[in-house]
């Protein structure tokens, strides 16, 4: 795990070595993930749901993400850590710079933003000012009120083509990674093939360059509702470490996600 960089992640894509990621919110789990060999961790605004008990990610603040990023960094000093920029923290390029700086100072190596065309100027501005950016397309949890709920995206031909176009534009603007959430596996495969940057899927099929899961989902802790793309790895393991190692192994060998975890 020591010394993971965006250039190493890009080389993993080129050599078809699957990238494995998970969300992390505290020092203890960050240390466990690092010891198991997770390629990178995301301090996700999903903490609103799984840590705070909110009904969505919208109440999460930059200060809260920074607090958890600091904790994860202390637990995994050498890890590659991505931090989510929460709802309305990047409404303008200028605001994005101010808020991203807080997350980078807290220990992030990269920030993640949700959205397409409207973000191009913001991404250019951040990258010019030495803030690495991961883009996020497909299902956008921060846009849940606009999307009308948590639904699969990109099923219609026009929507799929638009997603591909936006992915290429985000890469052109300077994004160095892309998270693709809840899209048909064929679209996940197509975007991964078209982009030079690593494409990390969550509910986007097995043909993306890597996979990410919310930590609590991976351990089956949200048993009242498990999305289709989630697998409880703890159910087939004796302890937390074995569950993480199983997750890594199954992503690397291509057995997760299986057909039962993907959308067509």
> CA-CA distance, 181 to 178, in Å (whole number)?
10
Residue 179 forms beta bridges with which residues?
Answer: 136, 200
Contact predicate 201/163, CB 8 Å: no
Annotation says 128 is catalytic: no
114: annotated binding-site residue? yes
Catalytic residue among 181, 245, 260, 264: 181
39: annotated binding-site residue? no
- Phi, then psi, of 81 in degrees rounded to 5: -120, 125
User: Strand pairing of 19-23 and 199-202?
Assistant: unpaired
> CA-CA distance, 47 to 192, in Å (whole number)?
27
112: annotated binding-site residue? yes
223: annotated binding-site residue? no
Residue 111 forms beta bridges with which residues?
Answer: 83, 133
Active site members = 181
Per the annotation, binding residues for 3-methyl-2-oxobutanoate are 45-46, 84, 112
Per the annotation, binding residues for Mg(2+) are 45, 84, 114
């Amino acid at each position: 795990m020591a010394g993971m960089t965006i250039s190493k992640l890009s080389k993993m894509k080129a050599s078809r070595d699957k990238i494995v990621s998970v969300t992390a919110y505290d020092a203890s789990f960050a240390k466990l993930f690092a010891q198991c060999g997770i390629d990178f961790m995301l301090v996700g605004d999903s903490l609103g749901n799984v840590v705070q008990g909110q009904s969505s990610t919208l109440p999460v603040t930059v200060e809260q993400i920074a607090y958890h990023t600091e904790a994860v960094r202390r637990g995994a000093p050498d890890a590659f850590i991505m931090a989510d920029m929460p709802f309305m923290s990047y409404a303008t390029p200028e605001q994005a710079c101010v808020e991203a700086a807080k997350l980078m100072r807290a220990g992030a190596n990269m920030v993640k933003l949700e959205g397409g065309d409207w973000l191009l100027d913001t991404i250019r501005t951040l990258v010019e000012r030495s803030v690495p950016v991961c883009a996020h397309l497909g299902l956008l949890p921060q846009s849940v009120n606009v999307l009308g709920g948590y639904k699969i995206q990109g099923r219609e031909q026009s929507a799929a083509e638009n997603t591909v176009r936006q992915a290429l534009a985000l890469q052109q603007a300077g994004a160095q990674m892309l998270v693709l959430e809840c899209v048909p596996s064929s679209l996940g495969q197509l975007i991964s093939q078209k982009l030079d940057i690593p494409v990390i899927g969550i509910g986007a099929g097995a043909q993306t360059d890597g996979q990410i899961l919310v930590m609590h989902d991976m351990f089956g802790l949200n048993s009242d509702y498990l999305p289709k793309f989630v697998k409880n790895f703890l159910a087939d393991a004796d302890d937390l470490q074995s569950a993480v190692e199983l997750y890594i192994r199954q992503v690397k060998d291509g057995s997760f996600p299986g057909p039962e975890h993907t959308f067509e």
